Every structure is written in structure tokens, then in C-alpha cells.
Chain A
Amino acid sequence: MTHGNGNGRPLQLTAKDFKSDQEVRWCPGCGDYAILSALQSFMPELGIPRERLVFISGIGCAARFPYYMETYGMHSIHGRAPAIATGLSVSRPDLSVWVVTGDGDALSIGGNHLIHALRRNVNIKILLFNNQIYGLTKGQYSPTSELGKVTKSTPMGSLDYPFNPISLALGAEATFAARSIDTDKRHLTEVLRKASAHRGAAFVEIYQNCNVYNDGAFDAVREQRENRIVLEHGRRIRFGADGERGVIQRADGSCELVDVADVGEEALVVHDENQEHPSLAFALSRLAHTPHGPTPIGVFRNVDRPVYDELMQEQLASAAQLSGEGDLEALLHDGDTWRVDGH
């Protein structure tokens, strides 16, 4: 194995190189395993040496993730990973910084940090493992749990209307928003590939089955493939066992599920993830507020906007050009000074 630190040889890392020596401690059957394995397999493709990769997490089952990656990593505190990652990414543009978070971590206690990292377009990749439950604290409802959900903390059913993570990200000015499924390695890898290639903040929601506290939450799309509305750039949006169903856009901008036979192929929406205006992406995100029927997966939005880290770097460079490299002596003397002579 090489580190590719300037010897001209290409990196030859494999998935194994990204496995740390720590024993993985999720419950057997947890969807997190599949995501970890997909990510470890994908990492070599990035061509980034391990020492320049950093995984930062908050608290929750998903937050154990960094311990299992043979990269730099920090298991931080509840909800704060996007803030910590922002400081790291902004001060170290040479690093590739990834945030691993969950629905409680990112959307409840850390909601503020998530939306601000997205709007600033900080160069971090945010992977949200959504299992619609609090797993680590043993089964309370989360901000993505469906209305009426009975959990330990909601014996009479949840009163909270859930977030739709993709809608939220789009509303927070995300330049990249995508969704995938823990067990669909091929799809997940494709989404990760696009996320890592994106300049700026990339938000990826991953449906992750918590088989202990919320088993089957995503069965409608995880198991019933005909419910996956796979978004593919430049293609008409069709789904169903034989592509017999599709998506049209109404005059008011909202999207609707139809039988292709009823409307004709020409009427179907052509997906355009690069559309500057977020309306289509948002309308698509509203097709399924919770994943209990046909649900879009794939890249909703992928657009270019100046990256916070780069903008800051440019300001530093232009300040140095304008006022010269900082000189402490000159700084201290900047302003009205006077001399007192010896006596």
C-alpha cells in the first residue's frame, strides 16, 4: 500500500485499507454495516490518501462510524459535527472532510448547524443515516418519525409532524441533495461518487434500517423496488416494475404520480439535477413526505455555487496582496504612537 505522497505512483488502496482495527459494535443486522462497507469500498476510488480524509460525527449509533474508518476522525458531541467540520474544512482546504450523522443528531439537536453549513456551501460531505428513530437511547421517536408513531416516549403516538430531510436541505440552500438506501450498494456508491465530486456542501440522506427499534421503516422502498423512483439526470422519471408509472409536473409546479399509459411518455418530467432553480427538486422531494409508498431516490439537486472555503482562502490572499504579509511590529505601531525618552 502506498500513501501517494508525491512519489508519482497512483494510490493503490483497497477497501481493506480503510478498515480500522476497532471492532464494529452495531447491533447485528443494523443497516449501518452495509453503509460502512459501501463507503470503505468506495473510498479507494477517490484517490485521496488516507491521511487527508477526515470523518467527523456527533452522537448516536451512526456517530460510531469514524472509529471504524482508518482515516483521521473525531467522534464529537450531539449535533455539532457540521460546525466542527466547518472549522476544520475552512482552515485546512487540503483535507477531504466528511460528516456522518443521524436523524436526531442532524435534524433535531444539530438542526441549526446543518442548515448553516449547507447555505454557506462549506466543502464538507454530510451523510445523514436516517432510521426515523433514536436508537442509541433505545427507541424514542425522532424528528423524521411519522406522525402518530408509538414509541417509548410516545405511548399514545407522536404529535410531531416530521421533517422531510431533502425538502429541508433544499430550503437551506443546499447545492447538492441526494437520497439513497443502505442496502443498495450500487446506487449508494453512485450517489457517493457524485457527492464527493461536488464542489461545496453535499447532503446525502441514506435510509438506514434500525432492525432493533424501528425495523422495516423503509420496507416500502427498501424491499419493494417498484416503489423506488430513481432520479437520473436527463432521463424521464419513470418507475414501477416495468416502468409503467411516471412523474409529471403540474401547472402549479408540484409533481404528481401517474400511469404512463394515461398521459403518454412525452408528458413525463425530464430530471435535471443541475437546474439552477430548486423548484423541480423541491417538488420531487414532496412526492413522498415519508417513505411509505413510491419515493424518489438519487440526486435531487447538484449545482455550482462559490464554495465558502475557497472564498475565505481568496480573501486571505487578497488581504495579503493589498496590505502585505502581516508584520507584527507594524501592527503594534499601527495608529497614533508617541515616544517617551529616557530621563
Chain B
Amino acid sequence: MTKPVEKLDQVIIRFAGDSGDGMQLTGSRFTSETAAFGNDLSTLPDFPAEIRAPAGSLPGVSGFQIQFSDHDILTPGDAPDVLVAMNPAALRTNVGDLPKGGTLIVNRDAFTERNLQKAGFEGNPLEDGSLAEYHLHEVPLTNLTLEALKSIDITKREAERSKNMFALGLMSWLYNRPTEGTLSYIERKFATRPLIAEANTIAFKAGYAYGETTEDFAVSYEVGPAKLPPGTYRNVTGNQALAMGLIAASTQSGLPLFLGAYPITPASGILEDLARRKNFGVRTFQAEDEIAAVGAALGASFGGALAVSTSSGPGVVLKSETIGLAVALELPLLILDIQRAGPSTGMPTKPEQSDLLMVLYGRNAESPVPVVAASTPGGCFDAAIEAARIALKYRTPVFLLSDAYLANGSEPWLLPDVSSLPDISVLFATEPNVDGEFWPYIRDESTLARQWAIPGTPGLEHRIGGLEKQDGTGNVSYDPDNHDHMVRLRARKVAGIAADIPELDVDDPDGARLLVLGWGGTYGPIAAAVRRVRQGGGRVAHAQLIHLNPFPRNTGDVLRRYDRVLVPEMNLGQLLKLVRAEFLVDAVGYNRVRGLPFRSDELANAIEAML
């Protein structure tokens, strides 16, 4: 008997379970199946900072949300349509987000008295009617998995661990996902442990078959492929795209890539990714601390490498001194700040946009540094190349801002045509530049970039340092007028980059009077909210800043074109402060710091309130 298939245009599913339940794997496999099917999609992993919080506890819950559709989408979605809860703690922490009438699939076997107690339930929600407003499917996931695996010679514990594959199989049936990818993935992943591979395969197929046969699920669903621009796609997270972008920047500049890093959430993935790419001549250096990480990068830059240091806020703050030195030395250096909620250690796995003012102003004295922010997971690739371009061309440290949401979230990414990537190569100085001598601070008239001679170049031996220097010669100078000149010159050099970056692009099809101005990683939620408001007949414009220092040259004009400007940020109003100060516009903020990306419905409400 085949069951009826119902067509949907989009679905949001959230997988939630204990950290030990393998929810991230389940989510990412479902994502791969969905990508292979050709839907547009967007994902949001949400996991605790603790590697293994006590099993079954509320802090130990790990989640993964995916939205997929037959049209283009911008976010992982606000509220899930379907919640898969592997234990009572996952139910308790997530069910509040499930709208009434939503589908709830739970692992009934995990609702033991002990687990219920750990999750803080007085009774059993499966029995007390408190879930009556949902479409509740109680699936004995654990027992069905054990039953399916009873002929395999593995321990009960090992068998039980395959229950996430059973759940994945069931969900794959429910949404008519292609399964070949997952089956071959299991084989690859457990190539050296054939029994475990077999167990996972059987559990996955059993879950799929369970969907087909059980009366509990009467219909399955289909979400057709999306009509995306033609080309080759892959699914990519922000951190993966950054790693690839850095390698691309290396090949496009012709300079070897050097990464100095110290492990920190949520940036470590970039270090790990690049460490696997040594065949590109990438040198990854895991330093003794954040300071050494950026110090080593600066040393490599002095030697002519494309030098990068990756970190997050609590690590970036330790690098300030070295970044100040890079400003004085006028050497290229990329610092990637994958922002997370703070202050201090804060919430390591949760996103925030609260480092903007730190990267702009968090150094001693007048120490201007260009800032680029990525706006989507795939956009991280372009942001890496753009940040490298600016750093190399202007001989300056550059900050690249991402955040925990972009870092771990994923979306289909239209692969760029390698031959169309920009040439960002640099010319090192090879000849003396003043009367047979080499003066390191002789500048290009238009960019104000100084000449860059790397060690190994005969006849150009020179010394540079953190002391104030005479422009031109680079000799140490305490001359008052020279210092005033140098401070202004460094500021002018960075400000001048405005002429070399794209103008701020405004999405305003209907001649709106309200502009929503965002920056960086809020692009998806803001664009989705704007779309929603427009669907309701509202007129609203949207611009997203990618360059935050300097701002695009038309920023002031754009802001002044609108009666009202709304600046949503995941901080207490940092860009807001900047645009008010710089452009004297009476912009207002919409600020949330919940460690979660914006929901597009809340943003839509905020926009509508201003129309």
C-alpha cells in the first residue's frame, strides 16, 4: 500500500536531543539529502558549549533546525513546523517554539521517570494531555532500533546509539528525501568498523520502512526543488566558506597563506579546515596563546606571506596590541572575529554582533583598521577575498567579522567561477627608491600604501618598529609635526579605501520612506522580514552594510533619502551609534541580545510599527 503524498512549498524541522544523541549529525545528513534533492535551504545548529553536559539534562540539549523550500529562502525559519524531540529535556526546551497544531515526534522510550525528573517535568507530558494541541507522534525509537539490530553482534549501547539513524530514516521517508547519500556516507564514515556501519544502515532503513508501514503516519510530504540560478551548488557553512575564501585569496594573491590561531569557539573550525589543506602550501600554526597567534601571523606578513589570525571576541581582545603594531608597521594582516555572545566568556556557541565597536576602537591611540563583515554563509567566501584585497593593497590590518550563526549555519552556495575571481597580487619592492637607498615609508600617491620590501631582497635591508617614525625614511621620530602628520595620514589612508569599495546597494522596489539598515550576519532575517512586510503591502527599503570601515561613499546620501531609518542589531546599538554620529541621522535601533539570530516575524513587526 502506498500512502498519499501531500505537496508543501516549505517546511521547518527542528531536531532536538541530548548532546550524546547525535542530533548535529542527523541534522546535517538531512540537510545533505535535502540539498541533493534541489531544495533551497538554510540551517541553524544550536548546541551547548559543554561537550557533554550531564545526559538528559536541560543544558545538555542540542538542536539543529533546517528550513527547506521550493523557492529561495533566507533564513532557517522562525518557528518549526515539526519538532523531533529525542528526550524529555529536548521537549521541554523546544516545545515552546512549536506553534499550536505543529507536528511533534518524540522518542517515547526516553520518557522514563528519571529522564522526566531531570527535565523538570512533574508528570509525563505524553500522558497528561498537555500536548493535546499538537499532532503528537509517539515513536518507540529506542526499542524499534534495538529490535531492528538484534541480529547484529554489537553491544546494546552501540545498538542504542543508532537510534538517531532510525529517526533520520523516518524523517527521510516523511519528506521523501533521497537516501543514497546517507547510505554511502555511513559506509565511508564507518569504513573501519563494518559492524557499526551495518547497524547504522539497518537502523536508517528500518526508520524509513517504519514510516511506510506504521498507521501513525498517514501521509508523507513532498517539497519540490527550488528554482535557483543555474550552476553548481554545494552546501556550505560560514566557517567552511571562510577557509576556502582564505585559500582563494592566497592563490589569487600568489602569496603563501599563514594562519596563526589558538583554539576558540566558534572559530576553531577554520583552523581545522585549513590544517587539512597543506597541499596548498598553507601553514597553520596553533600558537601557545591568542597573542602569539597574531604575533606569528605578523611575523609571517613581514616575510611576505598572506597572514591571518582567526579568533572570537575574547581572543581578539588579546590581540589588540599586535594589531596596533601592524597599524604602525603598515603591514597586511587579516584578523577574523567570529563573534559570540559576551561579555567575557559569555555564551561561546551563541551569536552576537557586539564586537563592532571593539574592532573599530578597541586599541590604544588613533589606530584605524578597515572592517569587512560577512552577511551570509556563502558570502564569507567573498568577504575573505575582499578583506585580503584591502589588507594587501593598503598594507594594513583588516578585520573580518562573522558570527556564530554564520559560522555554523549553512545554505546552498552557488560555486563561483574560479577564473572570475579578482587578481589581488602585490608588487614587492625590489629596488632602492631614494638615491640608492630604500626608504620603507615611501608611499603610493593614490592609495597611500607604503612600499613593501621583504627580507631576502638584496640592498633593501631596513628596520621597522612600533615607535613613531618619520614618514618616508621610517626612522624613529618624536617630532611633533611629523607625529601629527602620521596620525592623520594613517587615518586618511583607511578613509580613502571608500573610493575602492562598492557603493551601498539599496533594495527598494516601491519607493519606500522607511529604510532598514543592517550589517553583516543579519542579512537573511532582515531580508526575510522585509519580504514579509512587502507581501502584506508595506513599503520598506533594505540595505546591508558589508564594509563598516570605511563606510561606502554613498552611505550618508542613502540614509538621508529616507524619512525613517531602522537599524536592527544583535547588540545594544553599535552601528546605530556610528551612523548617528557620522551622518547626523535620527535612526532608531531594534536590538536583541538573546544569543539567537533574529526571527523574521519579530523584525517584520518592528518594521511595521514604523511604517
Which A residues form the contact surface with B (CB < 8 A)? Answer: 3, 5, 20, 22, 49-52, 54, 56, 59, 66-67, 69-77, 80, 83-92, 94-95, 112-113, 115-116, 312, 315-316, 319-320, 322-326, 328-329, 331-333, 335-343
Q: Given the complex, which residues of B lie within 8 Å of A115, measured CB to CB? A: 288
The 4 closest A-B pairs by CB, nearest first: A75-B465, A87-B296, A326-B280, A87-B299
Q: Known contacts A87-B307, A323-B279: does B463 contact A20 (CB below 8 Å)?
A: yes
C-alpha spacing A189/B112, complex, angstroms:
77
C-alpha spacing A86/B32, complex, angstroms:
41
C-alpha spacing A72/B440, complex, angstroms:
11
Q: Does any Cβ of A come within 8 Å of B234's Cβ?
A: yes
**Max chain B CB contacts within 10 Å: which of A5, A56, A83?**
A83
Q: Are A80 and B292 in contact (CB under 8 A)?
A: yes
Q: Are A77 and B325 in contact (CB under 8 A)?
A: yes
Q: Given the complex, which residues of A lie within 8 Å of B461, measured CB to CB? A: 50-51, 70-72
Q: Known contacts A316-B281, A326-B247: does B465 contact A83 (CB below 8 Å)?
A: no
- Indicate with 1 or 0, residue by residue over B450-480, a CB within 8 angstroms of chain A CB atoms: 0000011111111111110000000110000
Q: Given the complex, which residues of B lie within 8 Å of A343, measured CB to CB? A: 227, 230
Q: Does any Cβ of A come within 8 Å of B248's Cβ?
A: yes
C-alpha spacing A311/B260, complex, angstroms:
17
Q: Does any Cβ of A come within 8 Å of B527's Cβ?
A: no
C-alpha spacing A75/B468, complex, angstroms:
11
Q: Does any Cβ of A come within 8 Å of B415's Cβ?
A: yes
Q: Are B229 and A88 in contact (CB under 8 A)?
A: no
CB distance from A311 to the nearest CB of B (A): 11
**Max chain A CB contacts within 10 Å: which of B181, B227, B416, B456?**
B456
CB distance from A333 to the nearest CB of B (A): 7
Name A313's closest neighbour in chain B (CB-CB): B283
Q: Are A75 and B466 in contact (CB under 8 A)?
A: yes
Q: Are A331 and B295 in contact (CB under 8 A)?
A: no
C-alpha spacing A77/B281, complex, angstroms:
29
Known contacts A51-B456, A86-B292, A343-B227; 13 further A-B pairs (Cβ under 8 A): A51-B455, A67-B463, A83-B287, A90-B300, A91-B258, A91-B303, A91-B304, A92-B456, A323-B279, A325-B280, A333-B234, A338-B38, A341-B230
Q: Given the complex, which residues of A lie within 8 Å of B300, measured CB to CB? A: 87-88, 90-92
Q: Are B287 and A51 in contact (CB under 8 A)?
A: no
Q: Does any Cβ of A come within 8 Å of B171's Cβ?
A: no
Q: Are A316 and B292 in contact (CB under 8 A)?
A: no
C-alpha spacing A342/B229, complex, angstroms:
7
- Indicate with 1 or 0, residue by residue over B284-304, a CB within 8 angstroms of chain A CB atoms: 010111011001111111111
User: A86's contact among B280, B285, B289, B465, by CB below 8 Å, is which?
Assistant: B285
Q: Known contacts A95-B456, A112-B289, A326-B251: does B281 contact A86 (CB below 8 Å)?
A: no
Q: Are A87 and B298 in contact (CB under 8 A)?
A: yes
Q: Are B288 and A112 in contact (CB under 8 A)?
A: yes
Cβ contacts A to B, 15 pairs, < 8 Å: A50-B458, A50-B461, A54-B302, A73-B464, A77-B466, A87-B258, A87-B285, A87-B296, A88-B300, A92-B456, A94-B456, A112-B289, A112-B292, A315-B278, A337-B234
Q: Known contacts A87-B285, A340-B229: does B234 contact A92 (CB below 8 Å)?
A: no
Q: Given the complex, which residues of B lie within 8 Å of A342, measured CB to CB? A: 230
Total number of B residues with any Cβ neighbor in A under 8 Å? 69
CB neighbors of A among B16-75 (8 A): 32, 35-36, 38
**Max chain B CB contacts within 10 Å: which of A49, A71, A332, A342?**
A332
CB distance from A83 to the nearest CB of B (A): 3
**Max chain B CB contacts within 10 Å: which of A54, A92, A115?**
A92
Q: Does any Cβ of A come within 8 Å of B398's Cβ?
A: no
Q: Are A332 and B460 in contact (CB under 8 A)?
A: no
Name A343's closest neighbour in chain B (CB-CB): B227
Q: Does any Cβ of A come within 8 Å of B196's Cβ?
A: no
C-alpha spacing A160/B466, complex, angstroms:
30
Q: Are A77 and B232 in contact (CB under 8 A)?
A: no
Q: Known contacts A316-B278, A336-B234, A340-B228: does B465 contact A76 (CB below 8 Å)?
A: yes
C-alpha spacing A322/B276, complex, angstroms:
12
C-alpha spacing A80/B247, complex, angstroms:
27
Q: Does any Cβ of A come within 8 Å of B231's Cβ?
A: yes
Q: Does any Cβ of A come within 8 Å of B322's Cβ?
A: yes
Q: Given the complex, which residues of B lie within 8 Å of A339, measured CB to CB? A: 230-233
Q: Are A84 and B36 in contact (CB under 8 A)?
A: no
**Max chain B CB contacts within 10 Å: which of A69, A72, A89?**
A72
Name B298's closest neighbour in chain A (CB-CB): A84
CB distance from B454 to the nearest CB of A (A): 8
- Indicate with 1 or 0, residue by residue over B194-236, a CB within 8 angstroms of chain A CB atoms: 0000000000000000000000000000000001111111110
Name B476's closest neighbour in chain A (CB-CB): A67
Q: Known contacts A56-B299, A87-B298: does B287 contact A338 (CB below 8 Å)?
A: no
User: A340's contact among B230, B244, B325, by CB below 8 Å, is which?
Assistant: B230
Q: Does any Cβ of A come within 8 Å of B580's Cβ?
A: no
Q: Known contacts A80-B295, A92-B455, A95-B303: does B283 contact A332 (CB below 8 Å)?
A: no
Name B228's closest neighbour in chain A (CB-CB): A340
Q: Are A333 and B415 in contact (CB under 8 A)?
A: yes
Q: Are B279 and A319 in contact (CB under 8 A)?
A: yes
Q: Are A3 and B235 in contact (CB under 8 A)?
A: no
Q: Does any Cβ of A come within 8 Å of B313's Cβ?
A: no
CB distance from A338 to the nearest CB of B (A): 5
Q: Given the complex, which residues of B lie within 8 Å of A328, measured CB to CB? A: 247-248, 251, 418
Q: Given the complex, which residues of B lie within 8 Å of A94, measured CB to CB? A: 456
C-alpha spacing A91/B418, complex, angstroms:
26
Q: Does any Cβ of A come within 8 Å of B586's Cβ?
A: no
CB distance from A232 to the nearest CB of B (A): 35
Q: Are A88 and B233 in contact (CB under 8 A)?
A: no
Q: Given the complex, which residues of B lie within 8 Å of A320, measured CB to CB? A: 278-279, 281
Q: Are A88 and B299 in contact (CB under 8 A)?
A: yes
Q: Are A75 and B467 in contact (CB under 8 A)?
A: yes
Q: Known contacts A72-B455, A77-B321, A87-B298: does B279 contact A325 (CB below 8 Å)?
A: yes
CB distance from A237 to the nearest CB of B (A): 35
C-alpha spacing A59/B325, complex, angstroms:
12
C-alpha spacing A198/B229, complex, angstroms:
59
Q: Are A52 and B455 in contact (CB under 8 A)?
A: yes
Q: Known contacts A51-B458, A326-B277, A339-B233: does B247 contact A73 (CB below 8 Å)?
A: no
CB distance from B256 to the nearest CB of A (A): 7
- Indicate with 1 or 0, residue by residue over B177-201, a CB within 8 angstroms of chain A CB atoms: 0000100000000000000000000
Name A320's closest neighbour in chain B (CB-CB): B279
C-alpha spacing A50/B459, complex, angstroms:
8
Q: Given the complex, which residues of B lie within 8 Å of A49, measured CB to CB? A: 458
Q: Given the complex, which residues of A lie within 8 Å of B244, measured CB to CB? A: 331-332
User: B296's contact among A71, A75, A84, A112, by CB below 8 Å, is which?
Assistant: A84
CB distance from B599 to the nearest CB of A (A): 28
User: A335's contact among B234, B256, B258, by CB below 8 Å, is which?
Assistant: B234
Q: Does any Cβ of A come within 8 Å of B329's Cβ?
A: yes
